[in-house]
Structure 1
Amino acid sequence: MELDKYQRRYHKFSVNITESSKLALRIYFLVRKFYNITRDNISRRDVFRLAISNYQQWFQETLVFWIQTFRTECMTRIEKALEIDKDVVLVTSRCKFSNSSVDVLACFAKITEEWKAIDFHDPDSSLMGVTKITDLICDGARLYVQKIQNILERNCYYDDEEKTFNVTDRLCITLNNIEHVRQYLNELPQLLEWETVVSRISSTHENDRIGTQAHSTLARLLSTTNKEIIMKSSLLLTQITEKMKVDMAAYMDIFTRKRPEKASSVDKLIGYMSVNLKTLHDKMMTPTYYRMIEHLWPTMVTLLDQKMLSGERPEYYYQMKQHVKALISYFVRGGLLERQVNNPVFEALKTRLDYNTMSTEDLLLAYYDNIADDMGTPLEYFGHLALKFAYIEETRGNITIYVKVIRGCDLPGLDVTGLSDPYVILSLHPSTMFGHVKPQRTRIVEQTLNPVFNTSFQFPNVPRDYIDIQGAVVLLSVFDYDKIGNDDFAGEVLIRLSSIPKISMSQTVDSASVVMMALQRPSASLEGPFQVLVERKSWDKTAKTFLADRKRYLEHHRPRTDRPSKLTNFFSFLTGDKT
């Protein structure tokens, strides 16, 4: 009782608590030894008469201070272990740890052993003790990892400041220390007998839910610490990757800029990576090694995307694909999994390479195919066109495409009057496939937003095979006629040739169903096939002509001058526009 009073009085002074707790723990073990000797030498009936049989209750309050002492000594030992850490302890022929991690784990082991020796029978006290010890070991592991991180940053990741940064044994050992300590945490449920403690608490309170909550709390402590340590380890690996990045970039210049046509020009980069990955593979713990590989690959891909030239001819990008294949093969041999290869960064690079190796005609098809995919509900409403379309098979493998423009509905007003003088231009695209087919247009309907055209058009002598080509489209562009200056672009719709139904020779386009298609205004988004067309316009006349023609559709979007209809307001509501 007097010892309890002393500890309550000096609980803020760690030295006092440590010394008194050690004394109390020695007394506890002596009392237990006396009780065990007495119990073994008297009858079972007399054991229950002994007041000393409840000796653990005498130390109920002191238990908290024992655990506090464990924490104080643990944190102090971690600090000292890192201060005197000079030697390397060989654990296996492949992995090395320094003395600090071995000492820290010895400290953790001593705490768990002492707790087992205390062997408190009261389920509530036992659960409290296991929870606090799990927490203090997790805190100790976090402290150790933070100190390791500080040491690495202070020593510049053991960079010897030579021209080339190489991963050293010492760096691997330091990273191994982190993984060594982290893996110990996974042994705590067995070492501290979580299942037994949880089972006792459930039985005592006759409530399985209490046991489940207790186990969940313990698991959460461990899981949170594991995630934090892995995150810090990943941060360190990222910093190491950044140091390697400088040399990777220099070697990458050889095959992206200096000698891209030479298949062996990638060998210098692979040679540099081989030196470092061998050190990592031989000296680093397996989980850390694979995390390092995971960090290196996206960095390599991002760097390649930055170094790769733009606007080159397709042959250049075919060669880049070969270099990328060589790098993939190397990393897979090094342990990278296929799902790790195909990450979002790599998919973006692969898409860029695929587009750049396309012919200009294929790029145009991809561009129109992408726009046709977007012909759903527009983000901003510019009205509809009512259309009918069909095709008839002719002789010699050709077809004739028929399009009837019936009317426009709720088109945007682009004149100062709030009205427009709309007309529609119909054309087949891409022009490389339909260069022989001239665009056609409706008449101009003056001063209206709901023009009635009722005009049919036909495009004969279209090869039958074109129907099945993705990206082959009929483009209907709506303009507002101006007597002075250029006509204003109102919007456009695209009809995929593959979506046009077939009719018989005896039928006309009037037999087809009416289709209402919403007008869109395309954006000049510099990505995908459009970006490649922009990049190659300096040497590709077809790309240059396409961009010059497309410019009027992309850059001159005059705002509507009419009062928005209810349908327009509805679309604005959907997109969050409160104007």
Structure 2
Amino acid sequence: MQHWSYEKKPSNAGRNSQQKVFQDMQSPVRQSLPGSGTGLGRESFGKARSQPLKIKPKFRASYSVPDTSADERRASQLRSEKSGEKRGSKRRSSVPEKPLLLRTSYARPSITQLTRKRSRSATDLNKDKDNQGKALRWSRNLGLGATSEELEEAFVTRHMLYKEAMYTGVHFLGRPTDRFPVDKESICIYVHEAFSTSSKEQQAVVDHVKGELFPMIGVNTKILKAEGLQSSTPGKNHPNPYCVVAIETEGSIGKKEWQQSPISSENRLSRFLRRSEMLQPPAQRRVQLYSMIPQAHKTIVKPHDKNPVWGQAFQCVSIHPSTDMLAVEVWDRVDDDSLRKSIDAYNAAHRIGEGGNPIITHKLSRGDVNKSDVFLGKVSKRVNEIPCDGFEKTSHLGGLSQSQDLLTHGKLRVRLWLVHLYRHGKPYVDVVDKRTMLVCLWDWILSFEKKRNGSAWDGKLPQEASCLLYQYALQTGISEETHSYIRWEAYSKHKLDIDGLDAPLKDLGGVLQKRKSSDDKLGIDDSQLSVENSILILMDESIFPIIRNHLKETEGQVSKALKAYKNCEDVLSKYEPSFALPVIRGLLEKALRLCFLEWYQATYALRVQSVRSVDECQRVKLYVDVITDVNKLLTIGMKRWHPEFWMLAQYESYTPIMYDELQKMVNHDIEMICWSLLRHYNDNKRLRKMLTDRNRKENECTISALFSLYAGTQTFVEAQHQIFTGVEESPQYDNLANYHKWFRPILVLWLGFAVIRGSEIITRCVNIDTVSMDNIHAQTSTSALDTAAVIHQLVQFWERLMWPDVCENYVIIHFLIEVMCYFTVLYAERKLEKLELEGYFDTIDQFDISERLCIALNNIEYVKEALEGIPEEIKYDALIRELEDKCGITRETYNYRIRLKQVFTFTYVNVDLIFNSILEGVGKRVRPEIKRCVRDCLEIVQANLSRSGRESSRDALDPIFNYIDSNIITLAKSLLTLNFARMLQLFWDIILRELLYAGSNVEVKGGEQQKTVFDRLLTMLPMLRTYFHNNDGGLSEDELNTPVYWEVHDVMNMYTLETPAIISHFYRVRGDSQVSDPKTAPYGILTVRASYWNGKLTVEVIAAYNLVAMDDAFQLWNLCMKSQPSNDPYVEVEIQPERKFSNIRTSRTKVQRKTVNPTFNEKFHWDVSQEESGQEDAVILFTVKDYDFLSHNDFLGEAVVPFSKIPGIAAKPIPQPMHLNLRVVEPSHTLHIFKSRHWDPESQRFYERHAKRGSVE
């Protein structure tokens, strides 16, 4: 493609007739704008003159046909111009300047483009000088690259501006859209209002506009990409697509006939030329008119691509926008040779002979495409249906016509927009520069709207004004980027509110983003410097003052400033490099730091400096108020301002800057206060004096105020971790990290006051503790609640303290735990002392459980439960793990755990002892009453031995039940659950023991009567269990099954047995209770070996150790001879029970003289049958005695080995040899049973034999 060249004729004739012709045109004829065939920008595409043209085309003309009437009028106009051409003077030929293409940056226009100076006569120059006073002058940097030295003044009168606005409204370009819904009438009415014109001036301008030449319409087309294209050539998988763009005109050719021929086809032109009878004006003029239209444009060929991407832009001229169609055809480039080979291969594959017709053929086209190219489809759009703001759409490819059955595949994405190629029938060089005019128009419109709406105007233009400005930029070909620059410069000049600058900033940012997303990068030019300068001025004058004072501003005002800052930052970020972007970020940080500094200084002055002549305590309290305000500000900053700065301005350094600025002042002031007040606290004598001198309230006030200061400082330091969480390089404030060292001297006073004040509170609470007897549901008194509160206050003190040093923190918490345990034991002791002092026991007539006693038990239990939850509450295990991680797992850390357990164990033991002391006191006072009730119970049993057992047993229990019922109501309503169970347990054990004791001392005449009595007592036990269980309202089954219960049950059951059975039980129990533990052998150890094999029982007595020395008759002799006491021991071995092994004799070892560690090594054998060896009560009884020649042999101890543990009999025998602990026969209920059976000789003999073994004497 080549550019057009023009030769301008010097004739001015026919001007009036030409204007008249164009005023009456309904569908105006537009001159085509010559341009490049490879793609044009949205700026001006060429220059021309309104004078008659002598056209010299340098390439073949297109075939677009205008309507006949328009052609006639245009032809007559040309003839009139031609007639005046001979009379005119010869004019210079003009060649259009190179189109101004704004691609990667804002191109800087030359001075000639901004202000075109035309040669005038002297008379014209004088007229211009006279009119300069009346003209409205705009002289400013347009932001288009011109500097103050290069840019000359541009003179634009109000009349010129008004005429351009009217011309823009009258020649409205494109179809109205939702974005610009107004029509030309609305725009013209708004123009009249904006310029405040009179009716006479309106009519004159309207007549002048109608008298000017109509502008020509250019259709800019950008072919973006295609998708899913398929080749229709056999054997070819991927097409070689390219696109053809041209205007289809249907003015004089039938629609069906026109659509049958593709664009650029010679068939269309030949058909059109043959129908010469339909063409007006004559053929010579028609050919000349067609030659003015550019040839159809073609894109490059994308070889072997189903989804090609072009991104090429072209411009076509529409003569008849109401009927013209913009068509984009897609073709497949195919060479004739390759096409013929593909068809032959396809025919051969389908077995088509030489004489047959091929199935696949192709249409040969003519014109601008190769004859062998294949048509793939097209997309068309009527020109008058193109929206005024353009459109971008993906459309399916269609056929040549709707009636033709042509299968097409694929989609094509195209962008279209319109432009005026000529305005006023003149090239742009003959009028004021279009950008200068748009700048003036924006300035005029903004001034008008600002004046009309007042100072409260938000900068939003009405739709008519927006459409007017957009139409002017569209019609004159001003790019979207240039328009955004002009709009921003206009708004920034008028210094509107921040809201009014929001839309221009976003629009400018969007345009720059599009350029940034393109292949080219934004370069550095004067437009960037102008934009950055205007943004910096806006920041300094409007945005940063609000941000610097944002703590006092309203939230809405701050939000507006942050949004404006974000928009400015987005605009500046589009430039690479951006010089102003780091500047505004630094200025924002500076504004925030000044804001926090000024706030702190004002707060400190208000809180501290305004108060004079204060003491130490008051001084600390005043600064506590300051640090409290600082922490509140941090909280507000983190919860309110930081999210707002992040969401609205994408600024994430708000709270870090706030903290960094505040910590400087806080660090300095707190360190100075601590140094001035605590530097004397390193003296232990002074600390001791402050602790003991409790009458000085100022000491306590200062200590309390210092702890509040410590707590506020700790809150401030903890905020650092929350603020800088997730920050890669968080700052390290070493001085703040060791803030606890400032308060270390006062720590001893805090802990000391905690112990002293806690002890005083607990003692005072116990002394003034009163129980409201009116409240029957009271289970604890105020003293327990206060004591538990003191314990929890220590926990809260530790949690609030949270000493940063891990090792020191453990020492502190361990000390506090010991204090808590001390408080618990102290409270229990004080309550016990008060109980013993005031006598909370009712001793009149019979002992009754009082509510005061119940509440005392509840109080102690309540405080104990409060202490038990302390380790979990303070997370002691986590603290120990942290200590181990910090210091490593050492013996000290292990001892810490053991020490804590020991402290708690010691505390619980002491509290339980106090509980037991109270319960023992209760038991001592309850036992006589229960003993009397049990005695009455047994009297009833003896009196009713003849009646049935169950009925007499129930009646016998009435005295016990009546006594318990008299106390159970008080217990149930006044005791805690655990204490209620303890009290019931106390009654349960006392009643069982008293029943056993009373039953064993009942005088009976024989075994039958004894058996009957204890049968009745055994019948009473389940009744007692049911009563104390009370359907899960009393003691549980586990609590009822105490050792006392089973002991009583077994003893009562033995009273009902025969004597042999009791003897068997005695030996079975003795055998099961035999132990082998040298550490618990006060009477010595006997070593033996036993086995059973083939009916023979073998026992070997090996030795004995550490026997009790019994030879005391010669102690004086032994003392004189310096000899040790000794024995003459021997061992008796017998099989028991004697009744079952009467045929086995008792064996004994030899006597070993003068020793307490004899060695025997003697074996004994007995014949024992298999049946005898399997008896459960069969045992081997070893009795160690001291041989005495003058008197009876002394008993030294015995040991029992059951048959069930001997190798050869037992499945799991005892390891051999056996080391048996020697022991004596202790008094037991079993021996008492034998003793009570005075009518049974066997029982008496057994008792006499074993009663002698009750001790070693």
The TM tier, using the shorter chain, reads: 0.5 to 0.7
Given residue 76 of structure 1, which amino acid in structure 2 is its aligned partner?
E
Q: How does 1:160-199 map to 2 (within 5 A)?
A: 160-195=842-877, 197-199=879-881
Equivalent residue in structure 2 for 1:249, among 917, 931, 953: 931
Partner of 2:746: 62
Q: How does 1:421-436 map to 2 (within 5 A)?
A: none
Partner of 1:135: 818
> How far apart are residue 208 of structure 1 and its match?
4.3
Contact 2:1237 2:1243 (C-alpha < 8 Å) held by counterparts? no
For residues 398-430 of structure 1, give each alpha carbon's deviation from its aligned partner in whole angstroms, at most 9, with x where no partner exists.
xxxxxx9xxxx9xxxxxxxxxxxxxxxxxx986
Is 82-91 or 139-148 further displaced after alignment?
82-91
Partner of 2:991: 300
CA distance in 2, matches of 1:468, 1:61: 78
> How far apart are residue 188 of structure 1 and its match?
2.0
CA distance in 2, matches of 1:553, 1:37: 84
Contact 1:89 1:97 (C-alpha < 8 Å) held by counterparts? no
Equivalent residue in structure 2 for 1:336, among 1032, 1035, 1039: 1035
> How far apart are residue 55 of structure 1 and its match?
3.5
Q: TM-score, normalised by structure 2?
A: 0.31
1:207 aligned to 2:888?
yes
> How far apart are residue 187 of structure 1 and its match?
2.9
For residues 347-370 of structure 1, give each alpha carbon's deviation from its aligned partner in whole angstroms, at most 9, with x where no partner exists.
332233222212456557767888
Higher relative contact order by CA 8 Å / sep ≥ 6: 1 or 2?
1
Given residue 322 of structure 1, which amino acid in structure 2 is its aligned partner?
T
Partner of 1:73: 757
CA distance in 2, matches of 1:3, 1:231: 45
* SS of structure 1 residue aligned to 2:693: helix
CA distance in 1, matches of 2:713, 2:1247: 97
For residues 52-91 of structure 1, give each alpha carbon's deviation from its aligned partner in whole angstroms, at most 9, with x where no partner exists.
6644211112112111001111001111111211244999
For residues 225-259 of structure 1, give each alpha carbon's deviation from its aligned partner in whole angstroms, at most 9, with x where no partner exists.
23322332232122212211111011011122454
Residues 1:175 and 1:121: Cα distance change in structure 2 (over 3 Å): same
Contact 1:95 1:283 (C-alpha < 8 Å) held by counterparts? yes
1:9 aligned to 2:693?
no
Residues 1:271 and 1:34: Cα distance change in structure 2 (over 3 Å): closer
Partner of 1:106: 789
Equivalent residue in structure 2 for 1:357, among 1056, 1067, 1082: 1056
CA distance in 2, matches of 1:467, 1:31: 81
Partner of 1:314: 1011
Equivalent residue in structure 1 for 2:962, among 257, 266, 271: 271
1:153 aligned to 2:836?
yes
CA distance in 2, matches of 1:25, 1:314: 76
CA distance in 2, matches of 1:552, 1:187: 56
* SS of structure 1 residue aligned to 2:1021: helix
CA distance in 2, matches of 1:39, 1:345: 58
Residues 1:83 and 1:365: Cα distance change in structure 2 (over 3 Å): closer
CA distance in 2, matches of 1:39, 1:353: 70
Contact 2:934 2:991 (C-alpha < 8 Å) held by counterparts? no
Residues 1:369 and 1:180: Cα distance change in structure 2 (over 3 Å): closer
Partner of 1:26: 705
> How far apart are residue 47 of structure 1 and its match?
8.0
CA distance in 2, matches of 1:29, 1:110: 15
> How far apart are residue 201 of structure 1 and its match?
3.0
1:280 aligned to 2:971?
yes
Residues 1:55 and 1:252: Cα distance change in structure 2 (over 3 Å): same
Residues 1:114 and 1:178: Cα distance change in structure 2 (over 3 Å): same
CA distance in 1, matches of 2:908, 2:1173: 57
* SS of structure 2 residue aligned to 1:10: helix
Equivalent residue in structure 2 for 1:232, among 888, 894, 914: 914
1:535 aligned to 2:1236?
yes
Given residue 742 of structure 2, which amino acid in structure 1 is its aligned partner?
W
Given residue 745 of structure 2, which amino acid in structure 1 is its aligned partner?
E
Partner of 2:100: none
CA RMSD of aligned residues (A): 5.8
Contact 1:74 1:140 (C-alpha < 8 Å) held by counterparts? yes
Contact 2:923 2:986 (C-alpha < 8 Å) held by counterparts? yes
> How far apart are residue 215 of structure 1 and its match?
4.7
Contact 1:355 1:528 (C-alpha < 8 Å) held by counterparts? no
For residues 519-542 of structure 1, give each alpha carbon's deviation from its aligned partner in whole angstroms, at most 9, with x where no partner exists.
xxxx9987566643442334xxxx
> How far apart are residue 308 of structure 1 and its match?
1.8
Q: How many residues align?
A: 466
> How far apart are residue 471 of structure 1 and its match?
7.5
> How far apart are residue 153 of structure 1 and its match?
1.4
Contact 2:758 2:790 (C-alpha < 8 Å) held by counterparts? yes
CA distance in 2, matches of 1:351, 1:373: 16
Partner of 1:348: 1047
Larger Rg, first or second structure (1 or 2): 2
CA distance in 2, matches of 1:46, 1:371: 76
* SS of structure 2 residue aligned to 1:120: coil
Partner of 1:324: 1021
* SS of structure 1 residue aligned to 2:981: helix
Is 233-242 or 248-257 further displaced after alignment?
233-242
Residues 1:19 and 1:304: Cα distance change in structure 2 (over 3 Å): farther
Contact 1:21 1:62 (C-alpha < 8 Å) held by counterparts? no
The answer to which structure has the higher helix fraction is 1
> How far apart are residue 544 of structure 1 and its match?
3.6
> How far apart are residue 319 of structure 1 and its match?
1.3
Given residue 238 of structure 1, which amino acid in structure 2 is its aligned partner?
E
Contact 1:259 1:265 (C-alpha < 8 Å) held by counterparts? yes
> How far apart are residue 314 of structure 1 and its match?
1.5
Q: How does 1:471-550 map to 2 (within 5 A)?
A: 531-538=1232-1239, 543-544=1240-1241, 547=1244
| Runs of 4+ more than 6 Å apart | 34-41, 43-47, 367-375, 377-381, 439-442, 465-473, 523-526, 550-557
* SS of structure 1 residue aligned to 2:688: coil
Residues 1:321 and 1:69: Cα distance change in structure 2 (over 3 Å): same
Given residue 15 of structure 1, which amino acid in structure 2 is its aligned partner?
D
Given residue 985 of structure 2, which amino acid in structure 1 is its aligned partner?
E
In structure 2, list runs of 5 or more residues that go unmatched.
1-675, 946-951, 1005-1009, 1077-1082, 1087-1092, 1102-1136, 1146-1166, 1180-1199, 1207-1223
Residues 1:128 and 1:4: Cα distance change in structure 2 (over 3 Å): farther
Residues 1:370 and 1:62: Cα distance change in structure 2 (over 3 Å): closer
Residues 1:115 and 1:266: Cα distance change in structure 2 (over 3 Å): same
Residues 1:227 and 1:321: Cα distance change in structure 2 (over 3 Å): same
Residues 1:130 and 1:359: Cα distance change in structure 2 (over 3 Å): closer
